[in-house]
């Protein structure tokens, strides 16, 4: 909060909870179906898979759990390698490490901040088993090239679409161009369940495996007999009820995200030293977060001073991801002397502005006016 409690405060991501979601939650409370045994879980799985045009949806407790189960279902084990972006949230990397496999990093493009497909092939070894494509901040990865590389080298493709609900690549929704795709429904996502995630696939065998993994691998013949290592990754009925209601509003939510981004870009493009996000041709960027890069020499202050100045004026922001290949938890396990200049540049100079669905146009104007005043100062 700003030092002066009476000052205006613009949170970085205030969610909107639909009337449908509230009604479904009330129904959960009224009927007493609170746990994962409730009917909304299957309804949400069917509806979300249907929205993407996929055959199977497997709801889990978080986006991280979704990634972990997806990689386990592919049979990854110690000694295997997975190509991952160097610029991503740490959960994408930890999910690989949970299986015992090794994350192998690829630098990002500066334009979209997604994995640079031109850098993938030189990282492939005989131990490489999969590619993880993470659609950063809601902009689709270059999936045609990634899929071609995967086919050439007989690799599985996993989409981490946690930030890309409804994003389009050449008319195809993110989450439909891989063997398995994973979504997060954390409170700041376009569709939220508070905490939660889902895996989508068209492979019935993988779907059965995923359902077992998320529920402690109970034997189908006799419950409480466990033939494999499983996890308690179930989604609750209340979470699914929220998700189902929010999903019914996804078209409205995506439209609002694009409106927010359009308004920001129109105003910030006039300010020297602020680089606004892009949308490449033949894609729909859903702008999960509105991220900017700050050229300190041009703007007059670096990213850290910029964020502090906004905070003093009641505007909440967040840093971009810190590079996973520099994180102590990863370097201890997998020391890597590779250099990822774009990832480091983005981490040092990037932050995202208030981007939540509850953000109003006057609040956007206030943020932009404040940024303009900092440049003039």
Asked whether 225 and 218 are in contact (CB, 8 A), the reply is yes
Cα gap 44→140, rounded to integer Å:
24
Contact residues for 239 (Cβ-Cβ < 8 A; gap 6+): 185, 193, 194, 195, 196
Higher pLDDT: 199 or 336? It is: 199
Question: Which residue segment(s) compose the domain that 257 sits in?
Answer: 250-376
Task: Note whether 224 and 264 are same-domain residues.
Answer: no
Whether pLDDT at 4 is above 50: no
Q: pLDDT per residue over 70-85, tens digit each?
A: 999 999 999 999 999 9
Q: pLDDT per residue over 315-364, tens digit each?
A: 999 999 999 889 999 999 998 888 999 999 999 999 999 999 999 999 99
What pLDDT is recorded for position 8?
84
Tell me the chain's radius of gyration from C-alpha atoms: 21
Report the run of H or E that residue 180 belongs to, with start and end: strand 180-184
Say what angle helices 19-31 and 237-247 make with each other, to 10 degrees.
150
Task: Note whether 240 and 370 are same-domain residues.
Answer: no
Q: Which percentage of the chain shows pLDDT scores above 70? A: 98
Mean pLDDT of 31-56: 97
Q: Is residue 208 situated within a structural domain?
A: yes
Task: Note whether 237 and 255 are same-domain residues.
Answer: no
Task: Note whether 271 and 224 are same-domain residues.
Answer: no
Q: pLDDT per residue over 141-198, tens digit each?
A: 999 999 999 999 999 999 999 999 999 999 999 999 999 999 999 999 999 999 999 9
Whether pLDDT at 109 is above 70: yes
Domain total of the chain: 2
Contact residues for 312 (Cβ-Cβ < 8 A; gap 6+): 2, 3
Q: Is residue 8 situated within a structural domain?
A: no
Task: Note whether 150 and 292 are same-domain residues.
Answer: no
Query: What letter would DSSP give residue 4?
Result: S
Could you tell me the pLDDT band of residue 58, with boundaries at 50, 70 and 90?
A: very high
Instruction: Please identify, among 247, 270, 290, the residue that sits at the C-terminal boundary of a domain.
Output: 247
Whether pLDDT at 44 is above 70: yes
Instruction: Please identify, among 219, 247, 275, the residue that sits at the C-terminal boundary of a domain.
Output: 247
Could you tell me the pLDDT band of residue 377, with boundaries at 50, 70 and 90?
A: low
Say what angle helices 237-247 and 250-268 make with each other, to 10 degrees.
60
Cα gap 279→203, rounded to integer Å:
31
Whether pLDDT at 1 is above 60: no
What pLDDT is recorded for position 335?
87
Query: How would DSSP label each residue in 310-344?
Result: HHHTTB--EEPPPPGGG-HHHHTTS------HHHH
Asked whether 163 and 291 are in contact (CB, 8 A), the reply is no
């Amino acid at each position: 909060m700003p030092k002066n409690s009476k000052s205006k405060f613009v949170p970085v991501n205030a969610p909107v909870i639909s009337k449908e979601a509230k009604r479904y939650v009330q129904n959960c409370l009224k009927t007493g179906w609170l746990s994962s045994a409730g009917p909304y879980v299957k309804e949400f799985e069917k509806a979300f898979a249907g929205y993407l045009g996929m055959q199977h949806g497997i709801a889990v407790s978080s986006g991280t759990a979704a990634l972990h189960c997806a990689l386990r279902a592919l049979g990854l084990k110690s000694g295997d390698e997975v190509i991952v972006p160097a610029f991503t949230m740490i959960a994408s990397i930890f999910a690989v490490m949970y299986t015992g496999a090794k994350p192998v990093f690829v630098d990002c493009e500066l334009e979209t901040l997604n994995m640079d497909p031109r850098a993938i092939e030189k990282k492939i070894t005989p131990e490489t088993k999969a590619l993880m494509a993470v659609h950063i901040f809601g902009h689709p990865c270059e999936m045609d090239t990634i899929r071609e590389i995967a086919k050439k080298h007989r690799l599985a493709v996993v989409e981490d679409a946690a930030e890309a609900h409804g994003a389009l690549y050449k008319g195809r929704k993110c989450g439909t161009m891989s063997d398995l795709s994973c979504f997060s429904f954390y409170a700041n996502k376009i569709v939220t369940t508070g905490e939660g995630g889902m895996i989508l696939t068209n492979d019935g065998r993988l779907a059965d495996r995923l359902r077992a993994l998320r529920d402690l691998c109970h034997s189908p013949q006799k419950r409480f007999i466990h033939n494999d290592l499983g996890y308690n990754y179930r989604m609750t009925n209340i979470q699914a009820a929220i998700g189902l209601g929010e999903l019914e509003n996804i078209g409205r939510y995506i439209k609002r995200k694009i409106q927010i981004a359009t308004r920001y870009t129109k105003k910030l493009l006039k300010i020297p030293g602020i680089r606004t996000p892009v949308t490449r041709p033949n894609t729909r960027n859903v702008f999960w977060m509105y991220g900017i890069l700050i050229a300190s020499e041009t703007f007059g202050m670096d990213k850290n001073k910029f964020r502090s100045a906004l905070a003093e004026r009641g505007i909440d922001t967040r840093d971009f991801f810190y590079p996973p290949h520099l994180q102590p938890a990863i370097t201890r396990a997998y020391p890597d002397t590779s250099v990822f200049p774009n990832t480091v540049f983005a981490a040092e100079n990037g932050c995202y502005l208030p981007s939540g669905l509850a953000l109003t146009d006057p609040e956007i104007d206030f943020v932009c006016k404040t940024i303009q005043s900092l440049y003039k100062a």
